[in-house]
Amino acid sequence: MEPLMIDVVSDVVCPWCLIGKSRIEKAIALRPDIKTQLRWNPYFLNDWIPRDGISREEYLTKKFGSVERYKEIATRISAAATEEGLDYQLEKISRQPNTIDCHRLILWAENAGGAGKMKQRLMELYFSEGADLTDREVLVQAAVDCGMDGDLTRRLLDSNADVDRVTAAAEQAKEAGIQGVPFFVFGGIMAVSGAQSPEYLADAIGKAAEEQAKRESAA
């Protein structure tokens, strides 16, 4: 049987996507009997942010009304991240980035089989280290950390390579009706919205794999 393709639609600056990445990986570990493959798809949580980013304070004020109002929401997310065993240092974030370049890096890393590793590194930089993901050198170093060529990555980032491709993919997700992320599609058979529990996601893996096997045997 072909591996079950799990498409994950998410953004690197989405806290629930950070939690969702951890949970889908745990779900896969719960079903070692099923061969799976993760594919990371772009989504722009804040497509209105300029390419050079804005201050975190300005972002929270524009999106939530005030920094204080966001703190109420952040408490629940922090608790979920801590429960998941994640290093979540929200107070370190000072810049809110546009994520087109982050998704370009993930796309390029996919060609070398390291898209998941790149996704994880970018999320760590943002949520654990408070790094500015619009800083070109931060992104180049992330690429180097993931085994990519730094000079080549810098040249690609300085160009418009794959900007249209990433933008089209992110817009396609919204046109398909995806309003919130993370969003998981299992083998093109069933979809799950939100950072559900590993057990719930593992159950979805099992059901989708069963249906995929039926379709393959009937073909």
> Is beta strand 183-186 parallel, antiparallel or unpaired with respect to 4-10?
antiparallel
pLDDT surpassing 90 at residue 194: yes
Among the four given CATH numbers 3.20.20.70, 3.40.50.1000, 3.40.30.10, 3.40.1180.10, the one describing domain 4-218: 3.40.30.10
Q: What is the pLDDT of residues 5-45, one digit of tens each?
A: 999 999 999 999 999 999 999 999 999 999 999 999 999 99
pLDDT for 88: 97
* Torsion sign over Cα 193, 196, 200, 203: positive
185 contacts 10 by C-beta, under 8 angstroms: no
User: Looking at residues 150-171, what average pLDDT do you find?
Assistant: 98
pLDDT for 7: 98
Q: What is the pTM of this model?
A: 0.96
pLDDT surpassing 90 at residue 219: no
pLDDT surpassing 90 at residue 190: yes
Q: Which of 154, 136, 172 is nearest to 44 (CA)?
A: 172
**Domain regions of the chain by residue span:** 4-218
**Which pair of structure tokens corresponds to residue 152?**
């080549």
Q: Residue 44 and residue 80: Cα distance in Å, rounded?
A: 22
Categorize the per-residue pLDDT at 183 as very low, low, confident or very high, splitting at 50, 70 and 90.
very high
> Is beta strand 4-10 parallel, antiparallel or unpaired with respect to 54-55?
unpaired
pLDDT for 112: 81
**Residue 121, amino acid:** R
pLDDT for 108: 98
**Which pair of structure tokens corresponds to residue 138?**
């931060």
